[in-house]
Amino acid sequence: MSLWSQFLWVIFPYLALVTFVLGHVYRYVYDQYGWTPKSSQLLERRLLMWGVLLFHWGFLFVLGGHVMGLLVPIGVYRAIGVSDHNYHLLSLWVGAPVGIVAMAGILLLNIRRWFIPRIRNNTETMRFVTDGLLLVVVLLGLAATIGYRVYASQYELQGEFEYRDTVGAWFRNLFLFRPEAGLMVGVPLIFQLHAISAFVLFALWPFSSLVHVFSVPLGYLRRGHVQYRSSNPRATLARERANKSGKKPAGVEQSRRVE
């Protein structure tokens, strides 16, 4: 086993994971006010709405697919009667569409950030880097899901590439502190690039706006109601009484005529 392989598949992943954990702790302790991302909705709304909607829903299902493929051993599927061929068909026909949805969303967000001057001028460098890296990770994932199958069928390679026995086992062993770099040595290049880019993203995650993923608004569940006071209490009271009785308050039609 070469030193380069040990670095790529053992040392670098652990460095990225340690940075991921300690970086979040540091950010939470020293930069709570910068935890949530800056809103740019006032600068541009249409692309933001579609980009956020497509990326978040697509990424949510992509994450679920990675949990099924990487964290669940292949023996579990065989024990419940899911054949290897059926699993790969499921990963293709479900994983590819949701991956395309996530890619469309992050592509829209990158286009918005790069080509709208008002957005570009109000964006930090790290946001450009992480959004671009997210696009790279998703594209490599799609290339591994779809592109490798096309390549394998074109060159008549035998069988499906079983990443659950290689990439999945390597990934699980990292968390069990039993790293095996040899599991990744013979893996197709596109899967290797996807794994490396994902760990680069993990290393940068704490220092970007991606930390808002871990913001759960539990405080809203126990927060008291916010009361608003009207500058014209009499008009407000008349409006409430009219709403209850189904009648329009006095002066409404007159005010509309004046306008």
24 annotated ligand binder: no
Find where tokens 């409006």 sit. 239
Q: What pLDDT shows up at residue 153?
A: 58
Give mean pLDDT, residues 18-28: 94
The fold adopted by the segment(s) 3-31+39-215 is Fumarate Reductase Cytochrome B subunit (1.20.950)
- 180 SS3 class: coil
φ, ψ (nearest 5 deg) of residue 177: 60, 40
Start-to-end C-alpha separation, the chain: 82
- In the numeric block, which tokens belong to residue 10? 């053992």
pLDDT tops 60 at residue 195: yes
Give the span between the Cα atoms of 143 and 146, in whole angstroms: 5
Instruction: Give 35's DSSP letter.
Output: S
247: helix, strand or coil: coil
pTM for this prediction: 0.79
Contact 136, 197 (CB under 8 A): yes
Residue-wise over 30-57: b if at least 16 C-beta within 10 A, else e?
A: eeeeeeeeeebeeeeeebbeebeebbee
* Contact (Cβ atoms closer than 8 angstroms) between residue 106 and residue 187: no
**CB proximity list for 8: less than 8 A, separation 6 or greater:** 181, 184, 192, 196
pLDDT in tens, 119-172: 999 888 999 999 999 999 999 999 988 877 765 555 455 556 789 999 999 999
Task: Establish whether 194 is an annotated binding residue.
Answer: yes
Query: Encoding tokens for residue 64?
Result: 């679920």
Separation of alpha carbons 49 and 251, rounded Å: 39
Res. 48: pLDDT tops 80: yes
What number of other Cβ atoms are within 10 A of residue 257's Cβ? 7
3-state helix, strand, coil in the chain (%, to 5): 75, 0, 25
How do residues 204-233 score in pLDDT, each as one tens digit? 999 998 888 877 655 555 666 666 666 677
Give start-end residues of each CATH 1.20.950.20 domain in the chain: 3-31+39-215
| Cβ neighbours for 193, distance < 8 A, ≥ 6 positions apart | 140
The reply to whether 225 sits in an annotated binding site is no
**Residue (of 6, 10, 16) closest to 178 by Cα position:** 10
Mean pLDDT of 75-80: 92
